[in-house]
Amino acid sequence: MPKIQDLEDSTFDPILADELMFGDHTDPYSRIEEFRAGGPVIAGDYRSMMGLPSDPFDPAKPRYTVLSHTAVETALHDPETFSNRSFEPSLGVVYGPILTVLDPPVHTGYRRILQRAFRPEMIRAWERDYVEPVLAELIVGLHRSNRAELISQYTRPYPFGVIYRLIGLPHEDEEVFYRLTVAQLVSSYAMDIARDAAVKLDQYFAALMAERRARPGTDIVSAIATAESEGETLPDDIAISFLRQLLSAGGETGFRTLSVLLCKLLTQPGLLDELRANRSLIPAAVEETLRWEGPVVTTTRETTRDVVLDGVPLPAGAHLDICLGGANRDPAKFADPARFDLHRPRRQHFGFASGIHNCIGQQLARLEIVKGVEALLDNFPDIRLDPDAPPPIVRGTTMRIPRELHVVFDT
């Protein structure tokens, strides 16, 4: 195994970076509803309207925030008009040519190859070889006491632990990897740190790819290194960029969604009891969490031509903040959208985005979240909030999480 190198900046704190990057609003949705009164698409960028520093990239571009379900769906499903090149000054600089930055036809070919690495038989193998062993270790750790703080002891180490096992990472390198993973995300206020993390991970994965091509296994690096479609394989720079993004996207999606779901189950009266009595409702609880409090509140696009979006004219070259969280709570699409409803009729949500840029690892993420809930119910049937700890609060403006989730159990 190659050895991973840590950041040059030894003071970098990934927990503090989360707050600086993603904000700390306790209820951004009330503000989003105020914005919605101005129409389905309004002038202005989401971050500055929420009182955060606007990102420093392309400040001269006209900026709009897209709020309605109809407008968001249109933008996500029309990549010719609503381009992902909006990510080039930020994610493109740090991650390189990842799927998030690319448009068709280049995106189409690379995604087709990458999807081969996430075929159903691979997910089943990863469940057995990686997901279940990580869960088992974390549950053993929780059993050592009758109290736990689930964010630090369970929901964060769980999906990131799966990712680390998927790439065959030595346990002693996990802390460094987590710092590098988060550091890649801070380009809007510390591009030097983000670039440093990118270089360190590039060097690591280049060596790891060569090793796995020579001796492939069942891990995800081997799957991506050897994946092919119609005789085509991935160029090394694309494969390495995807692996770097997988560290953050794969870990963050499961971590945030599971954390929010457990917070909701433990704070909404009767909800946890209903799942205890009927485990078949767990997948519905996951989908409702993805709608009600998805892992990403906003994403971006750039218009390639003058266009009318949900009745609002937009110029070519405009930067759009696509408010997935606003669309997922659009009252024109969802009745009583602020209410968490296990029995809500299934309708299109954007918890994993939609269109050609939907989350390529979403089936693995869903599996992790479902099994994460099941493991807690199996092992701690009387789990409940710790009455002696502060109540949990979900915070964040563009990505959200409860900072702490203290629980007690008798078994």
Distances (CA, A) of 406 to 25, 150, 157, 255: 21, 6, 16, 16
Give the model's pLDDT for residue 122. Answer: 87
* Residue 1 confidence (pLDDT): 67
The reply to whether the predicted model has a pTM over 0.85 is: yes
DSSP string, 54-109: PPSSSTTS-EEEE-SHHHHHHHHT-TTTEEGGGGIIIIIHHH-S-TTT--TTHHHH
Return d(Cα 41, Cα 46) in angstroms, integer. Answer: 11
Please report the pLDDT score of residue 247 as a whole number. 74
pLDDT at 216: 85
pLDDT in tens, the chain (411 residues): 678 899 999 889 888 888 788 889 999 999 999 999 999 999 999 999 999 888 878 888 999 999 999 999 999 999 999 999 999 988 888 888 888 898 999 899 888 888 888 889 989 999 999 999 999 999 999 999 999 999 999 999 999 999 989 888 888 888 998 899 889 888 877 889 999 999 999 998 888 888 888 888 878 888 888 887 777 888 888 888 888 887 778 888 899 999 999 999 999 999 999 999 999 999 999 999 999 999 999 999 999 999 999 999 999 999 999 999 999 999 999 999 999 999 999 889 999 999 999 988 899 999 999 999 999 999 999 999 999 999 999 999 999 999 999 999 996
The structural domains of the chain, ordered by start, are 14-408 (1.10.630.10)
Q: How many CB atoms lie within 10 A of CB 74?
A: 18
Contact assessment for residue 372 and residue 155, using Cβ atoms and an 8 Å cutoff: yes
Rounded CA separation 389/202 (Å): 42
| pLDDT reported for residue 187 | 83
- 17 Cβ partners below 8 Å, 6+ apart? 182, 183, 185, 186
pLDDT confidence of residue 168: 82
Q: What was the pLDDT predicted at 335?
A: 95
